[in-house]
Structure 1
């Protein structure tokens, strides 16, 4: 990401000092966004990749927000949905963490733009797809199917557990998700489901 976005930071260290280096990259990126930047097509993939692999659900906003601003919410959400469908388990968890910011952020970084004004319309699969509905269905299926703890922990807070949020053919799956979460060995998941079902 640092190389593709042209950030003025030294090369990444092997292991010692890695945390400080990552902090420096974040700072350099934040300052670049404040000054203003035109992002290439390669920058889109770099921002999505970094947001998905960032383990911190607060810091990944620094990569989602400029991507949404420059390339559009729909394109960012389509990329994250793709990762939820086909990524590795860590990528699925990361896509869920990043989805939160893609859903709540609006264009708040006016100085961050795509170099190509048509970039927001590129690489959108299924033009007529209701991406939030597709996300809900995919996340529901993934929560029930995938036993990976981090995937389930990251998906659950974004998962509506009301049958009214889904078409009738998914209502049994909602019941399965609630039952799975209530019986889960992880205390966070058990607590979270009761909070969500109670809302």
Structure 2
């Protein structure tokens, strides 16, 4: 089964990203391109400016952590936000980045919650597997994956609770693709919430949610 791409965010929300990007540029000493007639083109050029500036960076001042992660969370593009997430993970550590994203889901605005769900994809510890057809992970990647197991569980619980309790469509659209829907991923006291999340997605008026949940359950 194929599934529809995640719908984009409303255009009027990109203004928050522009402002945050300008603030990060000021703090980091990065020159942004001049404004262009098309905002999307300017965003692309601005991201590339940061990519060039951060490509070989091994350390950043601590004062850049919050602005860097906030820029990632506010970035309306779910692919290009990695340009801000990955340097934050490299310099400040995966645990600190994941902890901050969990806090966004728990206490942020709906816009920030949705953005944190998009950013989480790039903050995860990927499993890398040995050559051939084996599904045995390399010891190094398994150790890195296990090191943040507690945060992964905290993320799943926080996003599950948010999906069920928050009726903001963008929040639900952004959370669902990364939300495990098998009760075995959760403690027993959350199993009813998993069933409720499935019911919400299956009966929702939004076509993306209905399509996506069947893909994940299939």
Q: TM-score, normalised by structure 2?
A: 0.75
1:103-144 CA-partner distances (Å, limit 9, x unpaired)? 1469xxxxxxxxxxxxxxxxxxxxx98111010001001000
Where in structure 2 are there 5+ consecutive unaligned residues? 1-23, 128-147
**Correspondence list, 1:40-59, <5 A:** 40-59=61-80
Question: What is the aligned-residue RMSD (CA, Å)?
Answer: 2.0
Offset of residue 25 of structure 1: 1.9
**Correspondence list, 1:137-148, <5 A:** 137-148=157-168
Where 1:8 maps in the other structure, the secondary structure is coil
Aligned positions, number? 175
Offset of residue 16 of structure 1: 4.7
Matched, 1:134 2:157: no
Offset of residue 35 of structure 1: 3.8
Matched, 1:188 2:208: yes
Q: Contact 2:114–2:174 at 8 Å: present in 1 too?
A: yes
**Structure with greater helix percent:** 2
**Correspondence list, 1:1-199, <5 A:** 1-9=24-32, 13=35, 16=37, 18-36=39-57, 38-104=59-125, 130-198=150-218
Where in structure 1 are there 5+ consecutive unaligned residues? 107-127
Name the counterpart of 1:116: none
Aligned counterparts of 2:164 and 2:215: Cα–Cα separation in 1: 18
1:154-198 CA-partner distances (Å, limit 9, x unpaired)? 000000000100000000111100011100001110011111112
Offset of residue 38 of structure 1: 2.9
Aligned counterparts of 1:2 and 1:50: Cα–Cα separation in 2: 10
Where 2:25 maps in the other structure, the secondary structure is coil
Q: TM-score, normalised by structure 1?
A: 0.82
Name the counterpart of 2:13: none
1:12-44 CA-partner distances (Å, limit 9, x unpaired)? 75x855444322321111111224353111211
